[in-house]
């Protein structure tokens, strides 16, 4: 069970995930969270870069040492992190987001968060996991390649005519407290059995037509929900398929969602 969370903050790092990995290799205990005001080499899924401008966004990672789970269960940790971010921004800022499977948090159709979970092995077992989270908070502009699908907490608060003020520190702490709750529920069963209903409640893709971008060939399907392993269930003709996280991406037929 994840019990104590310990926070460290740095003005600038290369990658909060990489800093956590260094500490993990040196024997650091589970529960360390490292956050930074800026990342110079932030990472996203499938080798993408994650932008972390100075003082504009949250860049934060946690060290986990789960006992008794195998490699197949690791992607579920990323899904749990998405639930934690969605819950935290609603609780701390009043912004109601949805989850685009598996782990993108979207508000009004645009992405506000990125999550990357990495693992290292030792003697055939998982030595540690690092779950990194990036949240756009004060960002007002984005690079041309992501501007069409990116937003921030401040921009969404303005659209809602809210007088609330977003605090990176408050949101970060709220994220990890929410994560601890969901993670400990996950550890009880090792899957989404007790979390699936809540996850699907906020699943942006549910019952929607989606495009599955698979390296072996893209195709269209209808998203049905998830199974207890966190795989996306899709309907293709009269067939139900399970889509695993990894190299596969899911897009809307007419846009990002």
Give the mean pLDDT per block of 10 residues along the chain (257 residues): 96 94 97 94 54 78 94 95 98 95 94 95 93 96 90 96 92 98 97 98 94 88 95 95 80 68
Question: What is the full DSSP assignment across 90-151?
Answer: HHHH----EEETTTEEEETTEEEEEEEEEEEEETTEEEEEEEEEEEESS-----TTTTTTB-
pTM: 0.92
Q: Measured between alpha carbons, how far is 12 from 107 in angstroms, rounded to an integer?
A: 28
Q: Which of 84, 218, 254 is nearest to 243 (CA)?
A: 218
Say what the pLDDT of residue 217 is.
87
Give the Cα separation of 31 and 159 in Å (integer): 36
- The CATH 3.30.930.10 domain(s) of the chain lie at 6-200
Please tell me the distance from the alpha carbon of residue 162 to that of residue 143, in angstroms, as a whole number: 26
pLDDT at 7: 98
Phi, psi of 100 (to 5 degrees): -90, 115
Q: What is the pLDDT of residue 45?
A: 47
pLDDT of amino acid 123: 87
What count of Cα atoms within 13 Å lies in the side-chain half-sphere of residue 189? 13
Report helix, strand or coil for 154.
helix
Outline which parts of the chain fall under CATH 2.30.30.100.
Answer: 205-252
Residue 245 to residue 112: CA distance in whole angstroms: 20
Amino acid 49: pLDDT: 55
Q: Do residues 178 and 90 lie in contact, with contact meaning Cβ atoms separated by under 8 Å?
A: no
Architecture category of domain 205-252 in CATH: Roll (2.30)
CATH of 6-200, one of 3.40.50.720, 3.30.930.10, 1.20.58.760, 3.40.50.20: 3.30.930.10
pLDDT reported for residue 68: 84
Which residues lie closer than 8 Å to 44 by C-beta, 6 or more apart?
50, 114, 116, 134
């Amino acid at each position: 069970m994840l019990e104590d969370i310990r926070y460290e903050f740095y003005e600038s790092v290369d990658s909060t995930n990489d800093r956590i990995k260094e500490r993990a290799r040196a024997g650091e205990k589970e529960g360390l969270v490292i956050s930074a005001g800026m990342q110079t080499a932030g990472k996203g899924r499938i080798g993408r870069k994650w932008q972390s401008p100075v003082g504009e966004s949250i860049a934060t990672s946690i060290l986990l040492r789960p006992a008794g789970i195998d490699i197949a269960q690791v992607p579920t940790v990323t899904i749990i992190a998405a639930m934690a971010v969605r819950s935290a921004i609603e609780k701390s800022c009043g912004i109601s987001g949805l989850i685009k499977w598996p782990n993108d948090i979207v508000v009004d159709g645009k992405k506000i968060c990125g999550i990357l979970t990495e693992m290292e092995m030792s003697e055939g077992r998982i030595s540690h996991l690092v779950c990194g989270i990036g949240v756009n908070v004060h960002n007002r502009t984005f690079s041309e390649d992501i501007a069409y699908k990116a937003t921030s907490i401040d921009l969404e608060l303005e659209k809602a005519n809210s007088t609330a003020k977003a605090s990176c520190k408050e949101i970060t702490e709220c994220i990890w407290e929410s994560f601890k709750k969901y993670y400990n529920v996950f550890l009880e069963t090792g899957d989404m059995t007790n979390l699936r209903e809540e996850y699907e409640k906020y699943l942006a893709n549910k019952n929607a037509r989606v495009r599955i971008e698979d390296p072996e060939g893209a195709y269209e399907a209808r998203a049905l929900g998830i199974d207890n392993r966190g795989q996306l269930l899709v309907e293709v003709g009269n067939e139900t398929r399970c889509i695993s996280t990894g190299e596969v991406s899911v897009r809307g037929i007419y846009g990002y969602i």
